[in-house]
């Protein structure tokens, strides 16, 4: 006998319960709708890219300020408590 396998057969005669449940909330609202995804336009890509780059620059500046300015370091340390 191979480990992990059984020679006896398993009987599965029980009928399956109705697995389809009535959808609720947002799923029921979107049930009949057909959603399509459209790629963003060039203007929208530029706006989101500018926001991401701007926030990254602000983050880098704040990290540099945190490491070099003791007063800012103490302020952040005390706000985090």
Report pLDDT digits (tens) over 8-42. 666 666 665 555 666 677 777 777 777 788 899 99
Q: 């599965």: which residue's tokens?
A: 12
What pTM was computed for the model?
0.52
| 73: CB partners within 8 A, 6+ apart | 66, 67
Q: Secondary structure of the chain in the HEC alphabet?
A: CCCCCCCCCCCCCCCCCCCCCCCCCHHHHCCCCCCCCCCCCHHHHHHHHHHHHHHHHHHHHHHHHHHHCHHHHHHHHHHCC
């Amino acid at each position: 006998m191979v480990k992990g396998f059984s020679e006896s057969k398993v009987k599965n005669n029980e009928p399956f319960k109705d697995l389809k449940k009535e959808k609720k909330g947002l799923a029921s609202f979107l049930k009949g709708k057909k959603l399509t995804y459209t790629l963003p336009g060039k203007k929208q890509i530029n706006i989101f890219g500018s926001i991401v780059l701007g926030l990254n620059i602000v983050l880098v500046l704040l990290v540099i300020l945190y490491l070099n300015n003791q007063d800012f370091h103490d302020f952040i340390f005390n706000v985090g408590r």
